[in-house]
Chains A and B, each alone.
Chain A
Amino acid sequence: MAYFEIKNFEKSFGETKVLKGINLSIKKGEVLSIIGSSGSGKTTLLRCMNFLETVDSGVMVLDGETLLDSNVKESESILREKRLNFGLVFQSFNLFPQYTVFKNLTLAPTLLLKEKLAEKNNLYKIELKNIKKNKDISADEKEKKIKELSEKILTKKQLQIKFREERENIRKDCNNLLEKIGLTEKASSYPCELSGGQCQRVAIARALALKPKILCFDEPTSALDPELTGEVLKVIKNLKKDNTTMIIVTHEMGFAKGVSDKVIFMANGVVEEEGNPKDVFNNPKSEKLKNFLNNVSDKDGE
Chain B
Amino acid sequence: MTFLQITQSLLQGFALTCLIFFLTLIFSIPLGLAISFGLMSKFKPLNLVLKYFVWIIRGIPLMLQIFMVYYLPGILNNGQNFWGTVDKYLYFNFQIKSGGALIAVLFSFVINYACYFSVIFKGGIEGVNRGQSEAGQVLGMTKKQIFRNVILLQVIKKITPPMSNEIITLVKDTALANAIGVVETIMAAKNFASGFPPIIWPIFYSGIFYLLFVGILTLLFGYIEKKLSFYKE
Contact = CB atoms under 8 A, between A and B. Distances in A.
Interface of A: 50-52, 76-77, 80-81, 83-84, 86-88, 90, 92, 94-98, 107-108, 111-112, 190-192, 206-207, 210
A93 to B, nearest CB: 8
A80 B142 contact: yes
Contacts of A192: 231-233
Contacts of A90: 131, 134-135
A207 B138 CA distance: 8
Nearest to A79: B137
- Interface residues on chain B, size class: 20 to 34
Nearest to A107: B149
A83 B149 contact: no
Contacts, number: 62
B134 A94 contact: yes
B127 to A, nearest CB: 13
B230 to A, nearest CB: 7
A210 B136 CA distance: 12
A107 to B, nearest CB: 6
A84 B135 contact: no
A84 B132 CA distance: 17
Contacts of B137: 51-52, 83
Lowest 4 A-B CB distances belong to which pairs?
A: A108-B139, A94-B135, A94-B131, A192-B232
A108 B141 contact: yes
Given A92-B131, A107-B149, A111-B149, A98 B138 contact: no
Contact of A190 (B131, B135, B136, B230): B230
A52 B138 contact: yes
A100 to B, nearest CB: 9
Contacts of B142: 76-77, 80
B138 A86 contact: yes
Interface string B162-195: 0000000000000000000000000000000000
A83 B154 contact: no
B138 A87 contact: yes
Contacts of B143: 76
Contacts of B136: 108
B153 interface: yes
Interface string B117-138: 0000000000001011011111
Contact of A88 (B129, B138, B231, B232): B138
